[in-house]
Amino acid sequence: MSETVLEVFCHGRLVGRLAETGDRRIAFQYDDEWIRSGFSISPLLLMLWNK
């Protein structure tokens, strides 16, 4: 099975990627550059840092 990946952009900047996992769930990962200089696109569920 091929990997399905969707890149997420905000105002032309790469925010991160959505991907389907092997068990058919959807996972999101912020791009490294977005973590350094961006903002949380969902402060309750997709924080840029661990508490």
**What's the angle, vertex CA 50, arms to CA 5 and CA 16, rounded to 5?**
20
Is the per-residue pLDDT at 1 higher than 90?
no
* SS3 label, residue 8: strand
Residue ranges making up the domain that contains 46:
1-51
The H or E element spanning position 29 is strand 26-30
Residues 6+ apart with CB under 8 A from 8: 14, 15, 16, 17, 18, 28, 41
Q: What is the DSSP letter of 41?
A: S
- pTM of the prediction? 0.71
Structural domain total, the chain? 1
Q: What is the pLDDT of residues 2-49, one digit of tens each?
A: 578 999 998 999 999 999 988 889 999 999 998 888 787 776 666 665
